Amino acid sequence: MNSVMTSVTTFFTTTDPLFLWLSGAALGLLVVATLIGAVLAWRVQTPAGRDTVRNLNARIRSWWVMVALFAAAMLLGSVVTLVLFTLLSYLALREFLTLTPTRRGDHAGLFLSFFVVVPLQYWLIGIGWYGLFSIFIPVYVFMALPSLSVLGADATDFLTRTAKAQWGLMLAVYCTSHAPALLWLDIPGYSLPGALLLLYLMTVAQLSDVFQYVFGKLWGKTRLSPGISPSKTVEGLVGGGLTAVAIGTGLHVITPFSPLQAAGMSLVIVTAGFFGGFVLSAMKRDLGVKDWGTMIEGHGGVLDRLDSIVFSAPLFFHLTRYWFT
Amino acid sequence: MIPLLQPALRHGLLGLTRLLVGARASWEGSAPVDVPRIYFANHTSHLDTLAVMAALPSELRTRTHPVAALDYWGGSALRRAIAVGCLNALLVDRTGKATAEVMDAMAAVLESGQSLILFPEGTRGDGTVAPFKSGLYHLSQRVPNAELVPVFIENLHRVMPKGMPLLVPLICTMRFGAPLEAVAGEDKAAFLERARDALVSLSRPKSPSASQPDSQSTGQRTAQ
């Protein structure tokens, strides 16, 4: 308990006042959003309205989870962040493969995916071996998994099985792992904690999600793609996306970027976040499910909450690494 | 035994089960209430008992006893501690030498208002449900007021297929169906067939949105 108090005290005395001010503002905003959600849940009468409020509250709750993750990362260090993301990847991969047909011959490869590939990917981040971290799953695992499966001497659906397992690893593990990898970037002239870049990515991606939803509910008329994601509208995408880019530009103070660079980065995060969610929606349609899982009872699974990060994290990571380190 | 060790071991085992296979309960025809019940489930892997116990709410879990084989679970002090101490298992002799005693022990649990978990197939299957052994019939005749609740264990055969030592974590759902209705004058074979049908019918979820692709054993592509 004492050591926690000490680290909290150290945290407040050594951290940039601007950062503290921003965290306070974000926390205040979240408390207000939670209160509004609670009032709405109490007052709403129609079934459709109840669904909307439930969805909104699920989003607000996932915000709290992210704030908690971020607070843990700040207070307990980057290794804790890495362990948390390892667990998230494990759960997301479990959701993905639960919905994917597998056969006996895949068993050994799938076992290794969960218990070797997942921890190894995050361990490579932890020891800072960027060269292997960035090609381990797309190159070595890509070849190793079908090699193991082919030993089962079963060609039924072979391409489908291997392709789906690889996609599961790419989304749940490889792409997702780029988010905590931001903490290991060494940016010259940037003195704030690396966890702020992770916060930046998550804030812009999630705000874009929330504002697209809000704008779509308020002014949405033109459906973007009823066959894949009925709730997405052009008005929501443009309004929500631009709002998120504006906030992302304002948040340049916690990043190594100039306002213009931050605007560009936000645009990349918003665009990739949109396509990530869109692609994952199409996959859910194809698999015949509404949500990836039921981790949070009634509010979908881990992958449903990670879908705006999966494409934006690697892009944001590489753009930052290429131009700022 | 050591008083604190068993609750810790129980929480550890149930927590590990949830981390590996989720063990989600889906009540589809019966509610989680504390009445004497015989939960009968398909036998898919070594994790079945743990998964069903992890899916039950804790107030029911303490009053539910999985029926386990004495020759295996009574084999060592550790196994016995896990089965009896942690999971309230009722160890029974399955050699057929003590059928009357086994029936007495199971009936006693139900008559005391508590519940049992049975795997009437006898052996582990490969995702399909094998014909039932007759114990379920005799027990239902002996204790007619106990509810017979089918529990379909979904996906667990993919987690740990027969003959595979490795475990692949996938989300498994326990589907608790409606209790079997009593049918007057039904003979043993008809009863066992009806009970098995009740279990099999739970394997296909009602809503098309929740259909599970499952090709491990049959090679069929159900989702497409």
Nearest one of A205, A206, A175 to A96, comparing CA atoms: A175
* C-alpha distance from A247 to closest chain B C-alpha (Å): 37
- For A33-53, the pLDDT digits (tens) are 888 888 888 887 777 777 778
- For A99-125, the pLDDT digits (tens) are 988 888 899 999 999 999 999 999 999
Contacts of A134 (CB under 8 A, 6+ apart): none
**Shared domain check, A227 and A116:** no
Share of chain A above pLDDT 70, in %: 92
**Model confidence at A70: pLDDT above 80:** no
Rounded distance between C-alpha atoms, residue A243 and residue B188, angstroms: 69
Chain B residues in contact with A95 by the CB 8 A cut-off are 171
CA trace torsion B56, B60, B65, B66 (10° rounding): -10
**Shared domain check, A322 and A191:** yes
Nearest one of A127, A120, A118, A113 to A78, comparing CA atoms: A127
**Shared domain check, A3 and A126:** no
Burial class (CB in 10 A: 0-12, 13-18, 19+), B8: exposed
* C-alpha distance from B114 to closest chain A C-alpha (Å): 28
* C-alpha distance from A291 to closest chain B C-alpha (Å): 9
- Tell me which chain A residue has its CA closest to the CA of residue B168: A111
Strand order, beta sheet including B115-118? B24-27, B173-176, B147-154, B37-41, B115-118, B64-69, B90-92
- Of the two residues A89 and B124, the one the predictor is more confident about is A89
Rounded distance between C-alpha atoms, residue A23 and residue A91, angstroms: 29
Rounded distance between C-alpha atoms, residue B47 and residue B23, angstroms: 10
Strands B173-176 and B147-154, how do they pair?
antiparallel
Amino acid identity for residue B21 in this structure: V
Structural domain spans, chain B: 5-204
Binary contact (A114, B155; C-beta < 8 A): no
**Shared domain check, A223 and A137:** no
Binary contact (B171, A289; C-beta < 8 A): no
From the list A101, A104, A108, the residue facing B213 with the nearest CB is A101
- For A283-308, the pLDDT digits (tens) are 998 888 888 877 654 457 889 888 88
Confidence of residue A98 (pLDDT cuts 50, 70, 90): very high
| pLDDT (0 to 100) of residue A313 | 97
Element (H or E) spanning A308, and its range? none
Residues from A contacting B (CB-CB < 8 Å) are 90, 94-95, 97-104, 107-108, 110-111, 114, 156-157, 287-290, 293-294
From the list A95, A111, A290, the residue facing B168 with the nearest CB is A111
Binary contact (B209, A289; C-beta < 8 A): yes
Contacts of B206 (CB under 8 A, 6+ apart): B28
| pLDDT (0 to 100) of residue A243 | 93
Domain B5-204 adopts which CATH fold?
Glycerol-3-phosphate (1)-acyltransferase (3.40.1130)
Token reading at B12: 């550890």
Binary contact (A95, B164; C-beta < 8 A): no
Rounded distance between C-alpha atoms, residue B163 and residue B166, angstroms: 9
pTM of model > 0.80: yes
Chain A residues in contact with B215 by the CB 8 A cut-off are 101-103, 156-157
**Shared domain check, A109 and A216:** no
Binary contact (B171, A293; C-beta < 8 A): yes
Token reading at A41: 């849940």
- Tell me which chain A residue has its CA closest to the CA of residue B159: A107
- Of the two residues A142 and A203, the one the predictor is more confident about is A142
Q: ∠ CA(B218), CA(B222), CA(B224), 5° rounding?
A: 135
Per-residue pLDDT of chain B (224 residues; tens, 9 = 90+): 566 788 888 999 999 999 999 998 999 999 999 999 999 999 988 889 999 999 999 899 999 999 988 888 888 888 888 888 889 999 988 777 778 888 999 999 999 999 999 999 877 767 788 889 888 999 999 999 999 999 999 989 899 888 888 999 999 999 999 999 988 888 999 999 999 999 999 987 654 433 343 333 333 333 32
Q: 3-class SS at B41? A: strand
Mean pLDDT of chain A: 87
Rounded distance between C-alpha atoms, residue A251 and residue A264, angstroms: 12
| pLDDT (0 to 100) of residue A112 | 96
- Of the two residues A72 and A87, the one the predictor is more confident about is A87
Report the residue of B164, B168, B207 to disrupt the A interface, i.e. the one with the largest count of A CBs within 10 Å: B168
| pLDDT (0 to 100) of residue B95 | 76
| pLDDT (0 to 100) of residue A11 | 64
Report the residue of B21, B166, B170, B217 to disrupt the A interface, i.e. the one with the largest count of A CBs within 10 Å: B170
As for the ipTM of the complex, it is 0.83
Which residue, of A76, A104, A133, is where some domain finishes? A76
- Tell me which chain A residue has its CA closest to the CA of residue B157: A104
**Shared domain check, A304 and A197:** yes
- For A151-191, the pLDDT digits (tens) are 988 888 899 999 999 999 999 999 999 999 999 999 888 87
* Count, residues in chain B: 224
Chain A residues in contact with B209 by the CB 8 A cut-off are 288-290
Query: Residue A31 in contact with residue A61, Cβ under 8 Å?
Result: no
Tally of CB atoms within 10 A around B111 = 13
**Shared domain check, A266 and A197:** yes
Chain A residues in contact with B161 by the CB 8 A cut-off are 104, 107
Which residue, of A38, A56, A76, is where some domain finishes? A76
> What's the total number of domains in chain A?
3
* Count, residues in chain A: 325
Binary contact (A103, B167; C-beta < 8 A): no
- Tell me which chain B residue has its CA closest to the CA of residue A104: B216
Using CA atoms, how far residue A67 sits from A42, A265, B9, B201, in Å, is: 25, 21, 33, 44
Which residue, of A33, A52, A76, is where some domain finishes? A76
Q: 3-class SS at B56? A: coil
- For A193-250, the pLDDT digits (tens) are 778 898 899 889 988 988 898 888 888 788 888 888 877 888 989 999 999 999 999 9
Query: Residue B192 in contact with residue B134, Cβ under 8 Å?
Result: yes
Q: Which domain holds residue A133?
A: 77-178
**Shared domain check, A155 and A189:** no
